[in-house]
Structure 1
Amino acid sequence: MDLREKPGKVQTFLEWMLRFRLIALVVMVIATVSFVATGWQEIVSLPIGSSEAFGMWLAETEGAKALWESARYLGVASIACVVMFIVFGGVRAGVASVVAMLLSFAGLYVLGGAESMPLPMFGIFALVAIVMFIFVKLSVACALFPFALSWLFLSGILEIVSSKFDASASLVWGAHSAFAFACAMAFAVVAGKHLAAGVPQAGALVKAAKQLLVPVLVGALLLIAAVTYDMGTPNWIYGVLQFVAYAVWFYVFFFSISSFGPWERLRSGSRRVEMKDKKKKAPAKKKK
């Protein structure tokens, strides 16, 4: 009799993604090169337009109350996402998601709509990611460079989807980028936690991705709904395509490509197994 627990459909899917990770990498590289070669100006315009819109929104809105009222749906969605990261991934995952989102919007603010800034800023980000990928022994360092690579791919997908509906992708790109960065960093933190417990690399990545299934997918739905209400997205078909594109990006491409990172160096030498001591009650003595 086989007493081993059979893996569920989600776990099986994630394991298959790891097996075909090289195919995912090749497809992503080819698609990204195609996006950059044929639509570089459109991709560069995404952060420029997003930073301009973000700066104008901050300039035109006075006071915290006005800021909240002008983006209350997006604010509620962001808070809900952080709460889900904490509930499903732990406090560290929640903190990592908050820091990632703040850094994303800080980058948009620093960019300030300058046309000459996107390429140098991305170059600095990629360089820092590579250095951390090679030398820094942290879980976020293992996911930062794969995120930088797949980020261009996600940008190209969002640009194509928005062009089909004649919609402005700049603000949508900013919101998606911030949430994608938050998901990537939360995933790295959770995977690092499993590795520290001695779980093998593949198992730790699968566990982390499975553990964050609800925050990633439900968070994406909330984000798209908030963007629809706050930013006036044309229709729900556009929103559904955004959701599908994001889900495919995270679980098919980012998850698969992140497995090429040096996660094994974070693994603990001994695997910790939690044992729950169950005290058995002594049988009552029978009275004669």
Structure 2
Amino acid sequence: MDLREKPGKVQNFLELMLRIRLIAVVVMVIVTVTVLAKSWDFLVGLPIAASEGLGMWLAGIDNVQGFWTSSQYLAVAALAGLVMFIVFGGARAGIASVVSAALLGGALMVMGGSEDLALPMYGILALFSLLLLLFAKLSVACVLFPFALAWLFLCAILTAIPWPAEEPMNLVWGVQSAFGFASAMAFAVVAGKHLGAGAPQNGAIVKAAKQLFVPVIVGALLLEAAITIDMLGKANVIYGILRYLLFVVWFFVFLVPVSSFAPWERLRAGSRRVEMKDKKKTSKK
């Protein structure tokens, strides 16, 4: 009698995505290069417009009441997402998500709508993440560079689709990027935890993605609902559904499989740790 736990549908799906990860890479490269060949302005335009929109939004807030009035749905969705990251991924996943979102928001504020900073900042991110990938023995280093590449792909998709309102979409892009970065870093620390416990590379990646499946799925849904209500209006629900589906597919079909090419094995413990329920010694040497 086989007493082993059978993998569920989510695990089977994630394992399948790892098996066909080369297809994901090819699709990413083709789509991104095609959009870049037609117009690479989105690489500069989206961050600049988002930083300008963020600055204008912050300038219009005088107090806490004003902040709550202008972003109550978004704030509740973000808080709910943080709670889910902590519940499903642990405290480190929650901390990683908050720090990541804050860093991206800070980068947009530093940019301040300057056209001269967008490309250099992205270049610094790409170079820094590549150096970390090659030399740093950190779980976030294994996801940061794949995220930078996958982020270009997501931007290319969002740029290729005609949206109903251009100006609000800039802030929408900023919110999506922040949640995507937060989800990626939370995934990195959870996968690193499994590797530290001795799990094999693909097993750790699948476990981490499965562990964060609910936070990413539900968190993205809450954020898209908040964005639609706060920024775009209920008339654009269909576009919110489309953005939501694009984000979920991007994360689980592209980002997670592509990140599996990183050198995760160097983070794996030399031998699998065994958790002892009874810490007392059972035998004396």
- In the superposition, the TM-score normalised over structure 2's length comes to 0.94
The amino acid across from 1:59 in the alignment is A
Whether the 8 Å CA contact 2:43–2:119 is kept in 1: the answer is: no
**2:119 aligned residue:** 119
Identity of aligned residues (%): 62
**2:62 aligned residue:** 62
**2:273 aligned residue:** 272
Secondary structure, in 3 states, of the residue corresponding to 1:81?
Answer: helix
Secondary structure, in 3 states, of the residue corresponding to 1:71?
Answer: helix
**2:218 aligned residue:** 218
**1:159 aligned residue:** 159
The amino acid across from 1:219 in the alignment is G
Distance (whole Å) between structure 2 residues aligned to residue 160 and residue 132 of structure 1: 31
Distance (whole Å) between structure 2 residues aligned to residue 208 and residue 95 of structure 1: 16
Secondary structure, in 3 states, of the residue corresponding to 2:114?
Answer: coil
| CA positional deviation for 1:2 | 2.2
**1:89 aligned residue:** 89
Whether the 8 Å CA contact 1:43–1:159 is kept in 2: the answer is: no
Distance (whole Å) between structure 2 residues aligned to residue 61 and residue 3 of structure 1: 59
Whether the 8 Å CA contact 1:228–1:239 is kept in 2: the answer is: yes
Whether the 8 Å CA contact 2:48–2:118 is kept in 1: the answer is: yes
Within a 5 Å distance, the mapping from 1:31-50 to structure 2 comes to: 31-50=31-50
Per-residue CA deviations over 1:230-260 (Å, capped at 9, x if unaligned) read 1124511101100110011000000010000
| CA positional deviation for 1:164 | 4.5
| CA positional deviation for 1:44 | 2.2
Give yes or no for the alignment of 1:181 onto 2:181. yes
| CA positional deviation for 1:165 | 3.4
Listed as ranges, the gaps of 5+ residues in structure 1 are 278-288
Distance (whole Å) between structure 2 residues aligned to residue 165 and residue 111 of structure 1: 26
Secondary structure, in 3 states, of the residue corresponding to 1:260?
Answer: coil
The amino acid across from 2:164 in the alignment is F
Per-residue CA deviations over 1:246-276 (Å, capped at 9, x if unaligned) read 0110000000100001110000011123354
Number of residue pairs matched by the alignment: 276
**2:143 aligned residue:** 143
**1:252 aligned residue:** 253
Distance (whole Å) between structure 2 residues aligned to residue 61 and residue 159 of structure 1: 29
Distance (whole Å) between structure 2 residues aligned to residue 115 and residue 9 of structure 1: 46
| CA positional deviation for 1:4 | 2.0
Listed as ranges, the gaps of 5+ residues in structure 2 are 279-285
| CA positional deviation for 1:23 | 1.2
Secondary structure, in 3 states, of the residue corresponding to 2:62?
Answer: coil
The amino acid across from 1:244 in the alignment is L
Distance (whole Å) between structure 1 residues aligned to residue 55 and residue 249 of structure 2: 30
Give yes or no for the alignment of 1:129 onto 2:90. no
Superposed CA RMSD in Å reads: 1.3
Whether the 8 Å CA contact 2:35–2:160 is kept in 1: the answer is: no
Secondary structure, in 3 states, of the residue corresponding to 1:272?
Answer: coil
Within a 5 Å distance, the mapping from 1:74-85 to structure 2 comes to: 74-85=74-85
Give yes or no for the alignment of 1:241 onto 2:251. no
Distance (whole Å) between structure 1 residues aligned to residue 229 and residue 184 of structure 2: 25
Whether the 8 Å CA contact 1:201–1:264 is kept in 2: the answer is: yes
Whether the 8 Å CA contact 1:154–1:249 is kept in 2: the answer is: yes
- In the superposition, the TM-score normalised over structure 1's length comes to 0.93
Secondary structure, in 3 states, of the residue corresponding to 1:96?
Answer: helix
Structure with higher Rg: it is 1
Distance (whole Å) between structure 2 residues aligned to residue 110 and residue 68 of structure 1: 23
Distance (whole Å) between structure 2 residues aligned to residue 80 and residue 104 of structure 1: 19
